[in-house]
Structures are given as C-alpha cells and as structure tokens.
C-alpha cells in the first residue's frame, strides 16, 4: 500500500474490522461475562491489519482523532446489544484533549446503534505526551456527566503512570500482560499487582488484568483481589456475531 493512500484506505467503509475481547468477572467460582473490550484491525490483506502497525502509523501521522472515531463507529455498529455487558472503547488521550466534540460524538454513536451511553467505558491509551491538559480534563468531566466510566490502559507502562492515575481518577486500572503473564511464579510481579490492587481500592477503582492465559495465573490474581480478567484462558477476541452469542 502506498504511503499517500494508506490513511484513506484505513478510513474508508470496511477499512476497520472490529473485534471484541470478552472480559470476565471471576469473583465467584463460576466466571461471569462482564463486558467486552472493543478492538480494531486495519484493512485486511495489508500491513495495517496488525493493530500495532495500524496504531504506530496513526500516531506517527498524528491522525489519532480521525482513526479513533472510525474505530468506535465500526465497533459500536457491530457490538453485542445485551444490556448487562459493558463495552470498553479505546481512545487516545490526545484525541480527548484536541477534539472538543469527541464526547458528544461518542454519545451519538452509541445511541444511534441502540446502546445506552451508560454501558460504555472509555479506555484511555497514550504513548507519548503532550496533549491539551485543559481540554483533556474537560473531556473527562463530560464523559462522567454522560454516565460513562473511565479506564486507564497499560497501567505501569509508558504514560500510564501515577500522574495519569491522579489526573484521570479512573474507574478501572488495566494491568498490562507484562505484569500478568508470569505472576504465579514471580514474586516481583506479585508485589506490583498487590500494590496496584491496594491503590485501586484507595481510589474506589477496579483492576482489570490483561493477558490471562493459564489457570495458575488466574488463581494468583484472585488471591490478590483481582476480579476482572481478559485473555485466552477464557476467549480470544471474537467477531460481533459470536460476541452476541456469548
């Protein structure tokens, strides 16, 4: 794909393929479906089909806002409509800072697809500052006023640090798989998870553990009070029809 055509190909109808990663509540012995994280893949048959390649390119070109909107439009159009399942949509912090109409857009996109905005969790991702801090704070206020919840992605990595936790005051802290994968055998990872669980409790937030692939890891997370998990132990990301069946 030629460079000058790449963005148009990503943004054209059908350029974004939405997938849904189930999130389970494991506070009881029998896990219960709690919601889905909406994921995006780029145009099929191109390098941008890889989420990493897609979003590395988007951030390089500073087109986060356009692509965030396209990803959310595609995700909500095909999302499961079950009222009990939360839907988590990924948004760059820079988008929230620069695009003052983004939260109204998000509300319109949800309601236009028969989804109550109160079902949505805005999952904030960012890999490099800066963004408009005043616009960002105003967007957080509008998200909460709309009844949506806020998650902070990749806590402990990159820009998702303690300052971001203080600035955002999220409802969910998402622990990256880097800390999760070997936590059953690594006491240092256990210490990080225990500390984040304690911090989340102080803020009245919940922990979501990503990348859970083994029962031993799940047992360890439960021991530290982590009740929300996602990963291949339960399900790979699925299409909209299969998410509806779940």
In the chain, domain spans: 3-172+235-245
Q: Which segments within 108-236 are labelled E, that is strand?
A: 120-125, 149-155, 172-175, 206-209, 228-229
**Which three-class secondary structure state does DSSP give residue 160?**
coil
- Residue 126 φ/ψ, nearest 5 degrees: -160, 140
Q: Would you identify the CATH topology of the domain 3-172+235-245?
A: TIM Barrel (3.20.20)
pLDDT at residue 58, as a whole number: 92
Rounded to whole angstroms, how far apart are CA atoms 36 and 50?
20
CA atoms within 13 A on the CB side of 10: 29
Name the more confident of 159 and 42.
42
Name the more confident of 10 and 127.
10
47-51, 127-131, 205-209: segment of lowest average pLDDT: 127-131
State mean pLDDT over 158-173.
Answer: 85
Q: How confident is the model at residue 132 (pLDDT cuts 50, 70, 90)?
A: confident
């Amino acid at each position: 794909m030629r460079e000058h055509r790449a963005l148009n190909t990503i943004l054209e109808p059908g350029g974004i393929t939405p997938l849904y990663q189930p999130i389970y509540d494991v506070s009881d012995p029998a896990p219960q479906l709690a919601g889905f994280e909406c994921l995006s893949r780029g145009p099929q048959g191109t390098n941008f089909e890889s989420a990493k390649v897609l979003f590395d390119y988007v951030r390089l070109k500073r087109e986060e806002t356009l692509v965030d909107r396209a990803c959310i439009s595609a995700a909500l159009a095909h999302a499961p409509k079950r009222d009990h399942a939360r839907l988590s949509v990924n948004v760059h912090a820079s988008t929230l800072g620069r695009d003052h109409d983004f939260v109204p857009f998000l509300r319109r996109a949800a309601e236009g697809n028969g989804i109550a905005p109160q079902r949505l969790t805005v999952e904030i991702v960012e890999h490099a500052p800066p963004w408009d801090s005043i616009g960002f704070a105003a967007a957080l206020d509008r998200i909460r006023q709309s009844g949506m919840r806020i998650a902070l992605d990749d806590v402990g990595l990159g820009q998702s640090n303690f300052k971001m936790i203080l600035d955002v005051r999220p409802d969910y802290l998402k622990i990256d798989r880097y800390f999760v994968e070997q936590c059953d055998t690594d006491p240092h990872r256990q210490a990080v998870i225990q500390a984040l669980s304690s911090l989340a409790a102080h803020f009245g937030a919940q922990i979501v553990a990503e990348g859970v692939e083994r029962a031993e890891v799940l047992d360890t997370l439960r021991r530290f009070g982590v009740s929300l998990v996602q990963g291949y132990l339960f399900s790979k990301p699925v299409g909209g029809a299969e998410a509806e069946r779940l």
